[in-house]
Copies of this chain bind each other. A is one copy, B any other.
Amino acid sequence: MSKLQLDSRGRLQHLLTLEGLERQTLVDLLDRAQRFCVRPGAAVKRHDLLAGRTVANLFFEPSTRTRASFELAARRLGAEVLNLDMSMSSAVKGESLVDTLYTLEAMNVDLFAVRHKDTGVPELLARHAAPHVHVLSAGEAHVSHPTQGLLDVLTIRQRKPDFEHLAVAIVGDVRHSRVARSAVQALHILGTKDIRLAGPKSLLPRKGEMRGELFTDTDKALRGADVIMMLRIQKERIRSGSIPSAQAYFKRYGLNAARLKLAKPDAMVMHPGPMNRGVEIAADVADGPQSAIRIQVNNGVAVRMAVMSKFYS
């Protein structure tokens, strides 16, 4: 784990990765998030835990849904939110990342949710941040997406809390997936041993790079699974790999109703979104009773509220 994550008293200062996080810290975040969950349709309570604080969404990669989730989380905690779409910012005009940090700190921004396609950006900002400032990764290259990992295990815990005896299959472009990496880290902390990483060989991680057993045969990976996490496939990846088409991908790696039957009868189906229906997942499975996909999104806001509020508790 990045040493930057904890302050000198061992409290969470930044959240850059789940790797190496203490079990108790992770469980505390899940417990907090559980309390922030509001089912769709109910009026959302506005908290004031971040009153007087300013949160900047510093997104160097465009992402409507993730940005919305962070924005709502911060506002529902009473913070001011600045949305800074850095992906089309000719505005930053070559200003260095660290100067952008310094500038926004000087405007009394207290918390940065950062998304960047390059490795190391959240850590770079955390290293230069003032002592009172918190950096929260909202997605870092292919390496880390900690709030996604948290929301994934929160969603699992709501249905299947016995993590030590779970079999979890993660299927798709595991190699390039920060979602998979953060999920595996979170599962490992919670004691899950049976983690299966499945996909085309060219899209699997190198042996030993990630915890979990590698499968190129999806069916084998799904057999007896409690949880199936499907990953989004970038369509550009299909042609450049050994897969000739989206149809061929769906046939070999997509989750359809028949393949779902290989897993446990009450297996949960998850997907980080946005989905390519008919490519990595069949529409009837995505919308079916075993799907927890929308619950993941609902939990996403709660998990982000949990992390932000933990910084101030």
Per assembly, the copies of the chain total 3
State the CA gap A95–B232 with chains docked (Å).
11
Q: At the interface with chain B, which of A35-43, A184-192, A216-224, A249-257?
A: A35-43
Establish whether residues A68 and B84, one from each chain, have CB atoms under 8 Å apart when the complex forms.
yes
B274 touching A65, Cβ below 8 Å: no
For chain A, residues 52 to 81, give those with C-beta under 8 angstroms from any C-beta of chain B.
Answer: 52-54, 56, 62-65, 67-69, 71-72, 75-76, 80
- Some 7 contacts from A to B, beta carbons below 8 A apart, are A40-B106, A40-B132, A76-B80, A99-B275, A106-B295, A106-B296, A107-B301
B297–A68 touching, CB < 8 Å: no
Which listed residue, B43, B52, B277, B297, touches A103 by the CB 8 Å rule?
A: B297
| CB closest chain-B residue, reference A298 | B106
Pair B294/A103 contact, Cβ less than 8 Å: yes
Instruction: Kindly supply a per-residue 1/0 record for chain A positions 287-313, scoring 1 wherever the CB is within 8 Å of any chain B CB and 0 otherwise.
Output: 000000011111011000000000000
A42: nearest residue on chain B (CB-CB)? B108
**Interface majority SS (helix, strand, loop, mixed), chain A:** mixed
The answer to whether A91 touches B62 (Cβ under 8 A) is yes
Whether a CB of chain B sits under 8 angstroms from the CB of A248 is no
Interfacial chain B residues near A45, Cβ < 8 Å? 52
- Size of the chain A interface, CB-CB below 8 angstroms: 64
- Indicate if the CB atoms of A64 and B89 lie closer than 8 Å: yes
Q: What 0/1 readout, one digit per residue, does chain A (92-124) give for beta carbons within 8 Å of chain B?
A: 111110011011111110100000000000000
A241 within 8 A of B: no
Q: Are B89 and A62 in contact (CB under 8 A)?
A: yes
Which among B40, B64, B75, B106 is the interface contact of A84 at CB below 8 angstroms? B64
Q: Are A91 and B65 within 8 A (Cβ)?
A: yes
Q: Which residues of B contact A130 (CB under 8 A)?
A: 40-41
Distance (whole angstroms) from the CB of A308 to the closest CB of chain B: 14
Verify if A6 is at the interface (C-beta below 8 Å from B): no
